[in-house]
With several copies, the nearest count.
Chain A
Amino acid sequence: MDNILQLWSTSGAAQMTMGQAFMVIIGLLLLFLAIRKGFEPLLLVPIGFGGILANIPGAGLAYSAVENALHAADPATLAAMAQALGVAASDNVKDLAVAYSASGAQEHLLLQQLAQDAGYGNGMLYNFYNVAIASGVAPLVIFMGVGAMTDFGPLLANPRTLFLGAAAQFGIFATVLGAVGLSSIGLMDFSIADAAAIGIIGGADGPTAIYVASMLAPDLLGAIAVAAYSYMALVPMIQPPIMRALTTEAERKIEMVQLRPVSRREKIVFPLVLLILVALLLPAAAPLLGMFCFGNLMKECGVVDRLSDTAQNALINITTIFLGLSVGSKLVADKFLDINTLGILGLGIVAFCIGTASGVLIAKLMNRLGGSPINPLIGSAGVSAVPMAARVSNKVGLESDPHNFLLMHAMGPNVAGVIGSAVAAGVMISLVGG
C-alpha cells in the first residue's frame, strides 16, 4: 500500500503545477510551429521537445542535484543542507534555495556532495546544458559549421554591402536602450547585462544570441533563444511591410551592377583578414568570429575537405541536437513564466523591425552619397537571418520588377550581418561582461 502511495506521489499527475502544464503546452506549440509551419525546425524541434522534458513534474531533468534535493524536500536532507549552509530554518525550502544561491563555492561543493550522497543526481538536461552551453562550446561549434557553409563571394564582390550589415545592428543597440528604459521606468526588471543579451535577438543569429545570453544572462536564455528563432522564422512576415513603407516604387526597381567574379585566393585570404582585424581590434569577439573564420577557411582552402564536410554535417548535427535540448532546459516553468519573458518577446520583435528599417534607410543614404546604385531592398538582409532575409529581399524586389533578381546581391549584406552581430556581441561582452 505504501508503495502504491509512493508510486502515485512520484507520478507526474500528482505533482503537476499549472505552470508546468502551461509550459508543456508551449512546448507542443513550438513543435507544431516547427513541424507544421516550418518555423526553423532544426532548432525548434529539439527546443520544444526539451521544453516538454524540462517540465515533466517530478523528473527534475532540468535541475541540478541540489535543486532536485530541495524539490524533494526530504526532512533529513534539508536539515543537513541547512546545517551546511549555516541557516536555522530547515523546513522552508525557499529560504534554503535563497541561502544556497547566495553561498560561496565551498558551500556549493559541499551541498552537491550532500545531495549526491542522499541519492539525488543532476538531471539529464542540466548535464546537457552544462556541457553544451555553459561551457560555450556548442554555439561555437555551430558557428564553425555555419562558417563552413558560408560563401563570402558576393560580399567580396561588393564590400560596400558590409555597411548595410553594420547598419542593421542598430536594432540590437536600440533594443538594449529600450530594455534599460523599460527597467528605469519600473515596467520591467532588466540589468544592463540582461538588456544586452535581449538586444542581441535583433542580430537575427541563433548561435550568437545563445552564446551571448549564456554569458550575460543565463536565466533569460530560454526566452531569448525562442524569440530569436521564432522571429527568424517570421522574417518573411515581419520585414516586407517595413521594406515597402520605407522605399518608393522607383527605388525598389533599381537594378544593381552585376557582381564581378571572385577568385579562390581572395576567398581563402578573406577569413584571415577578418581574423587579423578581430585580433587587432576586438579580442572579445575572437571566440565567435575565430571559429566562424576557421570554418570558412576549412571550406575555402580546399585541402581539408573531409574536415569541412564533417563540420558541415555530422559535427553540426550532433551539436544542434544537444544545443536544442539544452535550450529547452531553460523553458522550465519556474524560470520561464515571468513577466520578463513577455518583455523579451516584445523587445525582440522591435529589434527585428528597427534592424530592418536601419538597413533599408542606410542603403538609401548610400545611394545619395554616390557610387554604383544599391537597391535599398537588400538593406533589410543586413539583419542576417541567413538566408531567409536575402530571399525576402529578392521576393519583394520581384514584386516591383519581375526581372530584377536581387538574391545574389542580398547575400552580401546577409553574411555581413552575421559578422556585424558577432562584433556587436564582442562589444557587449567586453563592456558589460568584464
Chain B
Amino acid sequence: MSQGIELMLYGMGTVVLFLALLVVATTAMSRFIGRYFPEPEPPVQAALQRLHAQNKPAGDPNLVAVITAAVHQHRSNK
C-alpha cells in the first residue's frame, strides 16, 4: 500500500515538474525565436520549398528530379 502511495506521490510530482519545466522551456524558446529568429520567409515560399523537398527521393536526394530532367533532355535530343 505504501508502495502505491509513494509511486503516486513521486509519479505525479515528476509529471507536474516535467510539464512545468516544459512550459518554461517552451515559453523561453518561443520568445527567443520570436525575438532573434523571426520567420523570414513568406508562407508561399515556404510552401514551395516544402513541395520541392517532397519530390526528393531517399538515399540520393534529387536523384529522381535530375534523372527526370535528364531523361527529358535525352528524349528531346532524339
Direct contact of A and B (CB under 8 A): yes
A residues less than 8 Å from B57 (CB atoms): 42, 149, 306, 312, 316
Contact assessment for A266 and B74 in the assembled complex, using a CB-CB cutoff below 8 Å: no
In the assembled complex, how far is the CB of residue B73 from the closest CB belonging to chain A, in whole angstroms? Answer: 5
A interface residues, tally (CB under 8 Å): 84
A residues less than 8 Å from B64 (CB atoms): 149, 312
Contact assessment for A263 and B10 in the assembled complex, using a CB-CB cutoff below 8 Å: no
Contact assessment for A41 and B25 in the assembled complex, using a CB-CB cutoff below 8 Å: no
In the assembled complex, how far is the CB of residue B69 from the closest CB belonging to chain A, in whole angstroms? Answer: 7
Contact assessment for A160 and B4 in the assembled complex, using a CB-CB cutoff below 8 Å: no
Please give me the residue from chain A that is nearest to B14 by CB atom.
A427
Instruction: Give the complex CA separation of A422 and B72 in angstroms.
Output: 28
Please give me the residue from chain A that is nearest to B78 by CB atom.
A261
| With known contacts A145-B59, A162-B22, A181-B1, A407–B53 Cβ distance under 8 A | no
| With known contacts A306-B57, A411-B67, A263–B39 Cβ distance under 8 A | yes
Please give me the residue from chain B that is nearest to A42 by CB atom.
B58
B residues less than 8 Å from A258 (CB atoms): 77
Interface of A is mostly: helix
CB 8 Å contact bits of A170-184 with B (1 = contact, 0 = none): 101110110111001
Contact assessment for B8 and A423 in the assembled complex, using a CB-CB cutoff below 8 Å: no
Residues of B within 8 A of A (CB): 1, 3-8, 10-12, 14-23, 25-27, 29-30, 33-34, 37-39, 46, 49-50, 53-54, 56-67, 69-71, 73-75, 77-78
Would you mind naming 21 contact pairs between A and B with Cβ atoms under 8 Å apart? A146-B63, A149-B59, A151-B71, A155-B26, A159-B30, A162-B19, A166-B16, A177-B5, A180-B3, A192-B4, A263-B38, A273-B29, A303-B53, A305-B50, A386-B63, A387-B70, A390-B66, A390-B70, A408-B74, A420-B19, A423-B19
6 shortest interchain CB distances as A-B pairs: A180-B4, A387-B66, A173-B8, A166-B19, A263-B39, A305-B54
